[in-house]
Homo-oligomer: A and B are copies of this chain.
């Protein structure tokens, strides 16, 4: 593997590590902004480095459509194409196909879908996904998985779990650049603790790095499950549920991505230690404070809430500036989580974080459950 993962500190499931990748040495836990097509909405590469971004997630599906894997390859790979010097991760493209294309059909061979260009039937196999990702050249690439809708139950879940493991084997065979790119598998198994546990067990046995996909409500239920191997590596979070990095990290996540910080910015919402700051609110119109007086990011050093209130949702600069702050917030929080684990004060950090977010002692039940799994006592802050 073109990867070195050195654990620097632990607290139960939570861990702080040094993750050396071909293009950058990262500190985990880390947050990965999503740069669908080689751009993070509103931030230049200089600005991304400035806020401490270590790795960007690119969507294989979108990149393969535009500008195309061949062209990226001809131009020297995605790093060179988008001039990003640090680490990159690409997904397999399968998730987008299943979620964006209603006509996707999954067989043992791969994912069949209608081309969005000319509506012709096309097939994405595990091998082709890897070929495309080899051309794109990210530091971490993903095996194609058999994505199952969260609403589905029964034998289809089990089929998807075992098929995904078989596809990982095919991906490993197809992978042509193992010394420059790290192939990660994906854990399937829905919310079935035995299936999920078995998938992790098998992967562990073969010494494979695995990722878990979790959406909001799914995650809520998943934290109740105690698998024999509780280690999450990269969790895909969906935007509709506010899941905080502290919780993910406490449960063992090393890397996590979420479009929420940039998406909510476009609607005028800023992330602050207390929770959310809705800049559209009339109360912001003459508020001369920065978004977060404790934040040292470029936006908080330069702009007031009043100014942002005036332009947010009305001028592209508004979402640009709030996105900058929100991503800074995620970077800073991840860094603070890392440091608190290394310095042996992780539970205190999480307790303090939750106290600020829920000053009335009304931490939601599912968060309290998650903290119990993580071995962090927040009982005084939980609703009775």
Contacts and interface: CB of A to CB of B under 8 A. Distances in A.
B71 A306 contact: yes
A360 to B, nearest CB: 32
A309 B39 CA distance: 13
Interface residues of A, number: 37
A307 B75 CA distance: 10
A298 B47 CA distance: 11
A315 B39 contact: yes
Given A44-B321, A75-B286, A285-B71, A38 B302 contact: no
Contact of A44 (B66, B298, B311): B298
A294 interface: no
A83 B302 contact: yes
A82 B41 contact: no
A75 B288 contact: yes
Contacts of A317: 39-44
A364 interface: no
Contact of A41 (B75, B288, B316): B316
A136 to B, nearest CB: 13
21 contacts: A37-B310, A39-B315, A39-B317, A41-B317, A42-B317, A42-B320, A44-B320, A44-B321, A45-B302, A46-B298, A66-B310, A67-B285, A74-B286, A75-B288, A75-B304, A75-B306, A81-B304, A81-B306, A83-B303, A83-B304, A83-B307
